[in-house]
A and B are shown apart, each in its own frame.
Chain A
Amino acid sequence: GAGVSQTPSNKVTEKGKYVELRCDPISGHTALYWYRQSLGQGPEFLIYFQGTGAADDSGLPNDRFFAVRPEGSVSTLKIQRTERGDSAVYLCASSLVGGYQETQYFGPGTRLLVL
């Protein structure tokens, strides 16, 4: 009965480094979303997976951002050559099948700080 989990809960890195953020969705959920939430703002969409494939990656800001979900469950968001502007809370959400009006269940997020 666990919810969406994300690791690490906090990540501090230096500008230019590579980071990986992990999301473990609710068991059985085939749809998985990544959002980014800057301080004082609402979450902004990054990428949506349906099973193993990225059904919509139109929210990724540039080619430094990449995400995978190789077995259709756990997903990893990868950020190359991090910049200070990448500092934010990265939220993962999952839903049962990605259907219209389906509830998206969010994890607690990973707080990324790029120094």
Chain B
Amino acid sequence: QQQVKQSPQSLIVQKGGISIINCAYENTAFDYFPWYQQFPGKGPALLIAIRPDVSEKKEGRFTISFNKSAKQFSLHIMDSQPGDSATYFCAASTSTGRRALTFGSGTRLQVQP
């Protein structure tokens, strides 16, 4: 019930390309969906987040698409840059229970120059 499934495990994209990472959840009580970016040796940092009352949120080159009926959401990185090379985690939480985040297993993105 608490699981968030993330794919792919790793992704290689050419500079300027689009990176797409997908997540699916089971717990319908989840109502907040952030994405975190983690560089080696650092803690995760919030990248962008979405609530289920909207289907898309865009911030610069980063876009979250949300499909409530399918219980899926995805991160799109447009014009991917070598500096975007990092591990990305989707996460979810609920307003009605645990405050902590439930994370996906992560996607290691490598953007080749």
Contacts and interface: CB of A to CB of B under 8 A. Distances in A.
B99 A48 contact: yes
Q: State which size class the interface on B falls in.
A: 20 to 34
A104 B92 CA distance: 12
Contacts, number: 64
A40 interface: yes
A75 to B, nearest CB: 14
A104 B49 CA distance: 12
Interface stretch (B54-62, B76-84, B102-110): B102-110
Interface string A43-84: 111001000000110110000000000000000000000000
A93 B106 contact: no
A108 B45 CA distance: 10
Contacts of A48: 98-100
Contacts of B103: 42-44
Most buried by B among A4, A35, A100, A109: A100
B43 A107 contact: yes
Interface string B22-37: 0000000000101010
**Those 4 A-B pairs whose CB atoms lie nearest each other, nearest first:** A106-B43, A42-B103, A45-B100, A100-B95
